[in-house]
Structure formats: C-alpha cells, structure tokens
C-alpha cells in the first residue's frame, strides 16, 4: 500500500506541474502576415500598407462572398467604394466574412463598407436608419443604405480611448469629410469598443433643414469568435488632415496587431480581479524611441510589453517625479512587470528599438490592475470578449476536471490491483 500511495501522490502532483504549462502558456504571437485589400476607390488602404513597406494581395469585392477566396489571409481591408453596397448586402452574402472573422480573421472596413459589417454582424453597430422603416422585412434590407447622410465638412473629434490618445499625442483631432453622404453611426451594441467620437450634421427632409448631432461614434471595433472587426466612418481620401494621416497608419497597425493585442489582454487578465486599464498599439523601428503616458491614481498597476520575437527593446518607466522605476533590456516577449509601486500622476513609458528586423514592428503595451488604479476611463471591450474569456476559462476548468478524473480513475485501479495482489498471496502457516 505504501507503494500505491507514493504513486498516487506523484499522479496528484502531475497536474500541478503540467497544467500551468498547458493552460497558462504564453505563445509568441505574430502580427498578421497575409493581407488582402479590395480595390481602391473612395478609400485606399493599399497605399497606406505600401507606405509601411507591407505586401498584400488585391482581391475583388465579389471574393468577399466566397469562403475559399478568403482562406489563407490573416486580415482583409475592405475599402469604401461606390460598388460595395451591390456585392455584400444580405446575411447570406456575408456568410464568408462572418466565418472568416469567427475563425480568427481580422477585418478593416470603412464608410460604405459598413454594408458588409451590417450584413455580417447586425447587432454590433447601430447605423442611422432614415427612410428604411417600411423595408425592414425585405430580404435585401440593410440599414446602412439609409445611413449615408452625413454632410461634408471639418469636425473636431474626441479620442475617447486613452491608449490611442497616447499614440497620437492628443485627445482632440480634426477630421475632414470631403464628400457628403458618409455613413452615420447612431450607437454601438454590446461588446463594441468606441475609440473616437465626434459631431455630425445631416439634412432632414421632413424638417427641411440641417440637423446637428454632437456625439456619435466615428471609429469602433468588436471581437467576434476568434477574430475582430475595425470600422471607421472616415478614411484615406483627398484633403486629409495630419491627424487623419496618423489615424490611417494606426488603422493599418491596429488591424495587423489584432491577435497580438488579444493575446496581451489575456495575459493581463490572468487574475480575475485585474482589468486592462490602457492598451497601446503602435509600431517601432531600429533606433526609434516612442513615449506613451498613463495617468495613475496612486494605486499599484502592472505593465506588459508584447512584440514579435527576434527583437531587442529597451523598456523604461518614468514616475511622475521624474525617477526611473524600470529600465530593462527585453529580448523575449512578452515583458511583464507584475507590480509598479505607483504614485499619483502621469507615468511615461519609453520604448526604444535597439535591434529590430523590420521598420514597422508592431508593439502592444497593456497597463493592467484594479480599475481604481486609472484616472481616465479604462480600456473596456464590453461583454463580448468577457463572455469569450469566460468560455475559455470554462474550457480550462473542464480540462483540469478531466485530468483529475483520469488521475482518480488510475488511482482506483491501482488500488484495486494492489488489493488483488494482497488477497492473492498465500497466508503463511
């Protein structure tokens, strides 16, 4: 029996040693490599990708309806065009895109490409719907058809996401819509993150005058299955402002870095009490230095810096009083600083590219901890990803339960075997 209990203890120790490696692993996640872009028209994301030195393949808008045409791509950029509304209108048309995203793909869509997003994920973005009320039961109904009513003009928009504001270096940006008829977003559904909000105006035929609204979403994203969608009402067009030019670069980077960002969030949330307070997605090159800011309340927080392997970064954290609290060379991702003894005020995160294989290597910084550690509104992905995390947590729990059941079953048979050996021995006279 002593031998039996020794074996049992070893079996019991096995999951404690192995399960963390199985279920709490930190894989090296790469940015999207295989990119597809629809033909340029009113938007031209292909030009932005070329400027960043990235390769892509141009696909037809009709390919968006064919799953086999989308296989092999990590991310698809769907340009705003004057023909997209003819190609993907109904849920049936959007089945391939829906499957692509749920299977782990990432989609960027701008303005009129909202037709595709509305057809595939109708509950995620609520577009203005003027004139379409009587057609809601039609098979081809798509509310984006009636949402293209925005007036041309320049608008001062508010960057509501603190991570994006840190990348741009400002909280207010100027956006110029050079053409009327851009798609107005009224609100967003559960699980949809808003990055930028701003005013808009449109002509109301019933009232015979322009109506101004003060605060509508301009840029949003949401997770679906293992993938993600990024939608913007403005895009690469004539007379873009410097702010929009920076945003276009961010659109390309954010789309490519979707999986890296999601993997970083999972690490940040390994403790159920921790939340992602701020998420910064950017690129860095060799000998380049980037500085970001986080407004701390004085409660402790943690920091993760994630990137592709094969690079060398110098990570520094500067406290509000100017003292350096972290200065480390990082060669293996992710870099995790579990606890920074915080003081109230603005912290600076400085990332220097010491050795980098590409000029625009994506990096993700995630500030995590108690919600009370942040002064500004925290990064919040809504219920969608929280449910997915719960589901993945359920899978992990199920895996642990199954492993323990196997161990108990093995222990039972070992004990039974030991008893049979004992009972099978002849009693000494």
Domain final position from 199, 229, 256: 256
Tell me: do 155 and 293 sit in the same domain: no
Q: Which domain range does residue 397 map to? A: 2-25+384-424
Tell me: do 121 and 93 sit in the same domain: yes
Tell me: do 151 and 121 sit in the same domain: yes
Tell me how long the chain is: 429
How many domains are contained in the chain?
A: 3
Q: Residue 111 has what pLDDT?
A: 95
Q: Please, are residues 203 and 150 in contact by the beta-carbon 8 Å criterion?
A: no
Domain final position from 256, 284, 302: 256
CATH code: domain of residue 358: 2.60.120.380
Tell me: do 45 and 128 sit in the same domain: yes
Tell me: do 248 and 138 sit in the same domain: yes
Tell me: do 86 and 118 sit in the same domain: yes
183 upstream amide cis, omega within 30 of 0:
no
Tell me: do 277 and 232 sit in the same domain: no
In a domain, 86, yes or no: yes
Q: How many helices (H) and strands (E) would you count in the chain?
A: 10, 21
In a domain, 265, yes or no: no
Tell me: do 40 and 139 sit in the same domain: yes
Tokens coding 271? 């403790």
Domain final position from 379, 396, 415: 379
pLDDT category of residue 23 using cuts at 50, 70 and 90 = very low
At residue 254, the 3 state secondary structure works out as helix
Tokens coding 309? 């392997």
Q: Residue 17 has what pLDDT?
A: 41
User: Which residue from 37, 109, 48, 113 is spatially nearest to 70, judged by alpha carbons?
Assistant: 37
At residue 238, the 3 state secondary structure works out as coil
User: Which residue from 332, 291, 335 is spatially nearest to 311, judged by alpha carbons?
Assistant: 332
pLDDT category of residue 383 using cuts at 50, 70 and 90 = very low
In a domain, 429, yes or no: no
Spatial separation of the C-alpha atoms in residues 394 and 416, rounded to whole Å: 33
Tell me: do 374 and 388 sit in the same domain: no
Exposed/middle/buried for 398, CB within 10 Å: 0-12, 13-18, 19+? Answer: exposed
Give the pLDDT mean for 286-296. Answer: 96
pLDDT digit string (tens) for 136-170? 444 455 778 778 889 999 999 999 999 999 999 99
């Amino acid at each position: 029996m002593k031998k039996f209990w020794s074996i049992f203890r070893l079996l019991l120790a096995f999951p404690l040693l192995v399960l963390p490696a199985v279920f709490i692993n930190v894989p090296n996640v790469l940015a999207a490599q295989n990119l597809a872009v629809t033909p340029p028209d009113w938007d031209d994301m292909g030009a932005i990708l070329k400027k960043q030195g990235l390769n892509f393949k141009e696909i037809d808008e009709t390919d968006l309806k064919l799953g086999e045409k989308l296989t092999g791509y990590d991310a698809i950029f769907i340009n705003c065009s004057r023909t997209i509304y003819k190609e993907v209108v109904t849920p049936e048309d959007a089945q391939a895109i829906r499957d692509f995203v749920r299977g782990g793909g990432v989609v960027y869509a701008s303005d009129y490409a909202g037709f595709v997003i509305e057809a595939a994920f109708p509950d995620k973005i609520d577009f203005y719907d003027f004139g379409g009320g009587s057609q809601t039961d039609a098979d081809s109904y798509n509310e984006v058809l009636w949402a293209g009513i925005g007036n041309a003009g320049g608008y001062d928009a508010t960057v509501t996401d603190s991570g994006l504001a840190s990348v741009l270096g400002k909280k207010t940006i100027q956006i110029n819509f050079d053409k009327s008829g851009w798609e107005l977003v009224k609100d967003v559904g559960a699980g949809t993150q808003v990055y930028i909000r701003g005013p808009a105006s449109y002509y109301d035929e019933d009232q015979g005058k322009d109506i101004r609204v003060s605060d509508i979403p301009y840029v949003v994203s949401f997770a679906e299955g293992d993938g993600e969608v990024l939608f913007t009402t403005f895009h690469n067009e004539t007379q873009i402002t410097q702010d929009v030019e920076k945003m276009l670069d961010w659109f390309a980077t954010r789309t490519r870095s979707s999986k890296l960002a999601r993997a970083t969030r999972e690490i940040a949330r390994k403790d159920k009490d921790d939340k992602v307070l701020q998420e910064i997605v950017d690129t860095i090159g060799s000998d380049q230095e980037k500085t970001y800011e986080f407004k701390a309340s004085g409660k402790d927080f943690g920091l993760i810096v994630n990137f592709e392997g094969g690079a060398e970064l110098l990570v520094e954290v500067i406290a509000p009083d100017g003292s350096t609290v972290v200065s480390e060379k990082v060669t293996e991702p992710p870099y995790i600083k579990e606890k920074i003894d915080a003081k109230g005020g603005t912290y600076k995160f400085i990332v220097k590219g010491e050795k980098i294989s590409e000029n625009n290597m994506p990096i993700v910084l995630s500030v995590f901890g108690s919600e009370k550690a942040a002064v500004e509104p925290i990064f919040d992905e809504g219920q969608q990803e929280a449910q997915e995390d719960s589901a993945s947590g359920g899978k992990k729990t199920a895996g642990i339960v199954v492993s323990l059941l196997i161990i108990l079953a093995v222990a039972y048979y070992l004990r039974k075997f030991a008893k049979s050996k004992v009972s099978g021995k002849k009693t000494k006279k």
